[in-house]
Structures are given as C-alpha cells and as structure tokens.
Structure 1
Amino acid sequence: MWLRVVDRPGATVFATLSATEAFSRALVAGVIPLEAYRLLESARDVSIAYTVIGVVALLASFAVPVVIRVIRRKWIFSAGCVFMFMAPLLMLAETVVPFVGALQFRALAVVCVNISLNLYILDYIARKDFVTAEPRRLAFMGVAWFTGPGLGIYLYKTFGLEAVCLPSAVFAVIALAYFWVLRMREDPRVAPAKRRPPTPWANIRRYLAQPRLRLAWAIPFARSSYWAAFFVYPPLYIAKYGGDEMLSAMMLSAGQGMLFAAPLAGRLARELGMRRVIILAFIFTGAICLIAGAIRPSPAIVALLFFVGSAGAMTLDALGNIPFLRSVHAYERSEMTSVFRTYIEVSQLLPAAVYALLLLYFPLSSVFIALGVLLLATAWLSTYLPRRF
C-alpha cells in the first residue's frame, strides 16, 4: 500500500515537499536583509546586489530546460537542494563576498526546485484539481513562512548567526531525502530527448507568441515583486527609522501566516470566479503600498500596512499560477515552464534595478509607491483573463 501511494503522489505530498524546502529558505529570509544592511551599509547597495544576483539567476533559468532535455529532472531538484544547503553555510563567513555568494546560491536553488517541482505537479495533478491543490500547497507552505522568518530573527538576535544557518541547511537535506523517498516518475513527454533541444531564445519566442501565456506570466510577476520587496524594503525601512528588529520579525511571520487562508482564496475563486478575485486582490494590495509610500508612516505603521497588504498577495499566491497551468500545452511543458517561472528572477531583478535608481534621488518610501503602481497596473491587465477562469 505504501509503494502504491508513493508511486502516485497527490496534492498533500506536493504540499509537504514544498513546505519542507520552504522552511529551509524561510528561516534565513528575515535575517538576510539585516545582514545585507550590516555588510553593505545602504539600501541602494542592497538593491544593486539583488540586481546582479537576479541577472545570474535569470540566465540559469533559461539553461535549466536545456539541461532537463539531457538529464532527468530529479537531478535538477537535487542540485537545487544542494544549493539550498550551501547558501546558509556561506553566510556564516559574515563577510561581503561569501554573503553575496550565499544569495546567489539561494536564487539558483529556487530556479532548480521551482522548475522541476512544477513539472512534477503538472504530471500528477489533474487540470480540474488545480484550484484545490495549489491553495492546499500554499497553506502547507504557510506553516514554514509563518514560523520561519520570525523564528530566524529571534534565533539570530539571541544565539547568533549559526543558530539560524545550521537548521536551514538541515532542512535542505530533509527536503532532498523526502524527495528521493517519493520515487516520482517523469512524464515521457518531458523526459530527456535524443534530438538537439530547442534554444532558450526559441522557447521565449514560442512563449511570447501565445497571448494567454504572456498574461499568465504578468500576474505572478507582479505578485512575486510584492513578496520580493516585502522581505527587503519594509525591514530596511524599520531598521533605518529606528524600529526594533523584532517588529520586522512579527511583520514577516504574520504576513506569511496569511498563507493559512489560501484554501479560502480557492473557495472564493470557485464562487465568485478566479478572474474577479485576482483583480480585486491586486487593487487591494496596490492601494496599501501607495498609502505606505505616500504618508511615510512610523516603522510600526509600515509593518501593519504590509501585514494587511499580505492578504491580497496571499490570494494571488493561491490563484496566480493557475492561468498558466490551465493554458500550457502538455507537449511543451518543460520549455514553457522554464520561461514562465522566470517571473521569479525578473521580479527580483527588474524592480530592484528600478528601486536602486529611485533611491539615488528619493527616500526609501518611494519604493512602496513604485510597487503600488505596478500592482494596480497588473490589476488592469488581469481584466483580460477569460471570464470562464
């Protein structure tokens, strides 16, 4: 019976695997901006570092589908777990170059794990079950992201960097071990091929030629831009204007705790329509960001605003990938998934570059205004989703 269950993983298995690898990243997520600010000494330099890291990760994301056509994707997932293991260990050096290297390994881990895991989900989860399976996966990940950032900052302040980085590395090993216990098989349509694989640029052209896939990329890009900013700029704002580090910890953990409500977002989508819920979520979170940037509030109010804004971002987490999952053709899953998930690297690269320019001339609150404008613009784009979604 155990082997039959393992041979056919379902939504709960993928949710558990996602939560395990997420906890490795979540533990150090709150510590990274604090260490970045301590080592790099300015918000602008932090933005520049994230821009460089995003460029490398973006290039790697285009290379992964080529590699998947040569070797099995289980090795890609395994490599991602190894990168995830190495990142916190490099942070222990507490100097600039190893720290930047840790951020790069962490970004590469997300590339490898995300692409391979999405392909397995497409193989094992039926299209009609996406609205149920994705919110469940997000709810499980909510456990990691609710407890991880706050716990990481507490351990960092109380016991030092080792107390955060070593458990993070351990959870990367646990995720790798659990993945190999699952013994998941691969769909032969995305297995290694003997013929020469298409170039990344051909995949991009093919992706851009499909309007629904273009829109399916824009939605998670904007949502991911919110979370990329959430983990960096509100904590920097709080630190810069005299707020306590534990205020950042509470904001990060409470905001990520919103993921527990992901199944509610799925229920709302079934009752009201996914299109309508996505539009309203973008409008709500974008308005919150504009308010935070316009009034330049105290650190405590910034933490409260971004906590509230996380409700809309959580809704987009639960539903934002579904337009892609419902639109991609089975025979080009590997190639189109690799292009689709570049929203993660681009959401770290492009906004960070814009923020670095803004911070040359404007205060830190200008980042929140730019983010709000992006979210509201994506709300307008989301009106082009098919009504049947």
Structure 2
Amino acid sequence: MVTQVRHPIWLPAVKQAGARTFATLYALESFTRATIASVVPIQAYELLQNKQGVSLLYTLVALIGLSATLFMPMLISRFSRRWIYTTGVVLLALGSLLFMTHSLPGQMLGMLARVMGASALAITLNLYIMDHIRKTEIMQAESLRMAWSMMAWTGGPTLGVFLYTHYGIVATHAVVLAFATALLITFWYFRLGDNPLISPGKTRAANPLKNIGRFVSQPRLRLAWVIAFGRSCFWTTFFVYGPILMVVTGEGELAGGLLVSAGNALLFAAISWGRAGRRFGARNVMAFAFLAMSAALFAAGLGGENLPLMTGGFLLLGALFAVALDALGSTAFMRAVRTYERPQMTAVYRTYLDFSELLPPLVYSVVLSFFGLGAVFCTLGVFTVFCGLLTWRYLPKSM
C-alpha cells in the first residue's frame, strides 16, 4: 500500500578507519594508563614498605603478563579482535577497582589486570593498524599516534599523584574509570570490524609460539629486539624506581610524579632526534644515545639516595637519550622484517616490553639485597653500555 512506507534508519556516518582513528584510540588509552603510572609503584611501596618486595611483585606480575602476551593471538583468532579489545579496556577498569581496595591481593590482581589489558589493547590495535593503514603510510601514522599520546604521558603521572595525595585513592582511580569508559565508547563508535563501511581485516592473528624459532634465527631481528629491550628497560626503571627514590628520600610522592611527567615531556625531542638520525645515520645516533644514557645512569647511581635531586636530574638526562631510541629504535625492526612475516614477527618482537618489565625487577631485587637504590641505576648502566656496543658493531651502516 502507498501508506506503508518503510523509512530509512539514519545512522551516523563513520569514515574509513585511518591514522586519526587509531591516534584517538591510543591517546585515550594512554590517559587511562598514564594517570596511575606513578601511583601504582607508590601504592605497592606503601603496602610492602620494602623496595626489594616491590621488585619481586613487579617480577611476578610481569611473568604472568608475558604468558598472556604470547597467547593473545590465539584468543584473538578464537573470539575476534573487537571483543578482545573490549576485554582489554574492561581489564584496565577492573584493575583500578582492585587498586581501590588498597590491599596486597588487590594490588597484585590490579597490576595483573592492568598488564593483561595493556597487552590485549596493544596487539589488537597493531593488527587493526596493519589492516587499515598502507605500508607507505605506517611511519606517518605511528608518528601521529605517538604525538597525540604525548600529552597523556606528560601530564597524566603528575595528575594521578596529585589526586592521590590530595583527594585519595578513590578519586585517582575514578579518573581512570572515566577515561576507560570514554575509550570503550569511542572504540564502539568507530565500529572497527563490525561496520559494513569498514572492510574486514585480512591479517590473521597467529600463535607467537610458532614464530619464536623463526624470529630468533634472524640476526637483524634479534638485534632489533635487544635495542628495543634496552630502551624499554630504562623506562621501566625510570617509571618504577624514580618515584620510589623520591618517596624513600623524603622528597614526597608529588615529586615522584613530577619526575615521571618531566621525563615524558622530553618526548617532544623525538622530532629533533629523528632529524639527527637522517643526518648522521640511525646507527651512529642510537649507539651514541645508549652510551650517553649509560653515563647519565652511572652519575645517577653515584648520587643515589644521598643526593636525590641530583639523581633525578641525571635520570632526566638519561630519559633525553632514551627518547632518541624511541624515535629511531623501531627502524631496525621495520627494515629487517620481511613483509610476509610482519604480523607474526611483530607479535614476537613485542615481547621485549614484557621482558623489560620482568627481568629488571628480578635483577634489582638481588641488587637491593646488598646495595641501595643507586646500585640499581649503575646496574642498568652496565647493560646499556653493552647495548650501545652491540648496536655500533652489528647494526648496518646504512641505517
């Protein structure tokens, strides 16, 4: 009949996923994680009242988190990416709810939920990026993604510690819940993988366990992993032991948050380091950055707990050189990985992050049994010297 008209249902138009889509998601995710980046180690220290205990706690959590990372692609292939991504956001929110209990079991489970959530988000987002961004545009997209996250990692740690010291634990983690909610709403608004306007992804998530042997058999991939592992070890040490240094020396929790925020603010130097890499060669700049970082770490180790402000200053100097490795380090992997192996090798390559959260606290727990916090920075300095020499010796001059 003429009167039986079926009117169209108008839905908001969603553009094809692009660089801004993933930059937006990553920025919101960064706010969700960065806000309590300095609060989590401070909470752990308040509960344990022992620096060695904090190291052992981080080691245990990282060990379990590594297992989750290795098996994440299997879960993605079984349950689809959008649900794994959603679960990752929910885990970040659940972690903050557990932190609110301010108990040792809640702290451990909260840290574990946070690690597993970050792993789920990182792997699924990388798969989305590889499916929707052309290879020739990945570098530009990644630069945009990092740029949009700078504000979160610069202001987030200080904001979190300020809320924690002035308004308490509930207010701090309530902000995380708000960012997590915004992230989840934004993700489903983009309808990645569901919206018919967006072509389904073509990359199948593989089990990283089947690709470890292939990764290890390629020397340049091994070197790229060591470079990434070395710089990530610095950031893990900086984020965890920088705030603890400020607390145990009486400088205060807010000073710890300001230290981490100042270190993250140096990410703005990434553009300058990129230009230096193009002019002098990535190999030369990365080797120099490792060795200069080592010198700063040794100086921080000498200052130790006796001169906390000087120690913090040298840690910030080390962070400046770590930014150079952030800007150039991934080049070693991207130029070495074969195109047809990129998804599989990327899954294995990302384990550098889990190992950097697992091994340093384990080593530091032994070091702290005999020495003070200054020895932690000296220990890391020895390893970064090794990374610098390895980079200079084996990274191709054409880099």
TM over 0.5: yes
Residue 251 of structure 1 corresponds to 259
What SS does structure 2 have at the residue aligned with 1:190?
A: coil
CA distance in 1, matches of 2:386, 2:254: 33
What SS does structure 2 have at the residue aligned with 1:361?
A: coil
CA distance in 1, matches of 2:118, 2:329: 18
- Aligned-pair identity in percent equals 37
Residue 274 of structure 1 pairs with residue 282 of structure 2: yes
Q: How many residues are matched?
A: 382
CA distance in 1, matches of 2:121, 2:376: 29
Residue 86 of structure 1 corresponds to 94
1:387 is displaced (CA, Å) by 2.7
Per-residue CA shift, 1:348-374, capped at 9, x if unaligned? 111111001111111121110111112
| Distance change >3 Å, CA 261–CA 178, structure 1 → 2 | farther
CA distance in 2, matches of 1:76, 1:255: 31
Residue 217 of structure 1 pairs with residue 225 of structure 2: yes
| Distance change >3 Å, CA 315–CA 349, structure 1 → 2 | same
Residue 284 of structure 1 pairs with residue 297 of structure 2: no
1:81, 1:175 within 8 Å by CA — same for their partners in 2?
yes
| Aligned counterpart for 1:372 among listed residues 368, 381, 395 | 381
Per-residue CA shift, 1:156-213, capped at 9, x if unaligned? 1111111110111211222222222233457754236xxxx65x43221111112221
Residue 156 of structure 1 corresponds to 164
1:292 is displaced (CA, Å) by 0.6
Per-residue CA shift, 1:16-62, capped at 9, x if unaligned? 22121011111111111111111011000000001100110111111
1:217-366 equivalences in 2 (<5 Å): 217-296=225-304, 297-366=306-375
| Distance change >3 Å, CA 188–CA 91, structure 1 → 2 | closer
1:5 is displaced (CA, Å) by 7.3
Per-residue CA shift, 1:249-289, capped at 9, x if unaligned? 22111111112232333333233322222222212222111
CA distance in 2, matches of 1:214, 1:5: 40
Between 1:155-164 and 1:318-327, the stretch displaced more is 318-327
| Distance change >3 Å, CA 320–CA 119, structure 1 → 2 | farther
Residue 191 of structure 1 pairs with residue 204 of structure 2: yes
Residue 38 of structure 1 pairs with residue 41 of structure 2: no
What SS does structure 1 have at the residue aligned with 2:18?
A: coil
CA distance in 1, matches of 2:170, 2:261: 20
2:242, 2:260 within 8 Å by CA — same for their partners in 1?
no
| Distance change >3 Å, CA 319–CA 173, structure 1 → 2 | farther
| Distance change >3 Å, CA 208–CA 242, structure 1 → 2 | same
1:49-128 equivalences in 2 (<5 Å): 49-128=57-136
TM-score, normalised by the number of residues in structure 2: 0.89
| Distance change >3 Å, CA 318–CA 179, structure 1 → 2 | farther
| Distance change >3 Å, CA 388–CA 4, structure 1 → 2 | farther
What SS does structure 1 have at the residue aligned with 2:229?
A: helix
1:140, 1:260 within 8 Å by CA — same for their partners in 2?
no
Structure 1 residues without counterparts, runs of 5 or longer = none
1:130 is displaced (CA, Å) by 4.5
| Distance change >3 Å, CA 14–CA 316, structure 1 → 2 | farther
Structure 2 residues without counterparts, runs of 5 or longer = 1-10, 194-198
Between 1:208-217 and 1:156-165, the stretch displaced more is 208-217
Structure number with greater CO (CA < 8 Å, separation at least 6) is 1
1:102 is displaced (CA, Å) by 0.5
Residue 387 of structure 1 pairs with residue 397 of structure 2: yes
What SS does structure 2 have at the residue aligned with 1:156?
A: helix
1:18, 1:137 within 8 Å by CA — same for their partners in 2?
yes
CA distance in 2, matches of 1:264, 1:132: 16
Between 1:142-151 and 1:118-127, the stretch displaced more is 118-127
1:322 is displaced (CA, Å) by 2.9
CA distance in 2, matches of 1:248, 1:94: 19
Q: Which amino acid aligns with 1:387?
A: K
Residue 27 of structure 1 pairs with residue 35 of structure 2: yes
CA distance in 2, matches of 1:25, 1:33: 13
CA distance in 2, matches of 1:100, 1:25: 16
1:9, 1:184 within 8 Å by CA — same for their partners in 2?
no
Q: Which amino acid aligns with 1:316?
A: L
1:22, 1:145 within 8 Å by CA — same for their partners in 2?
yes
Structure index of larger Rg:
2
Q: Which amino acid aligns with 1:33?
A: P
1:129 is displaced (CA, Å) by 4.0
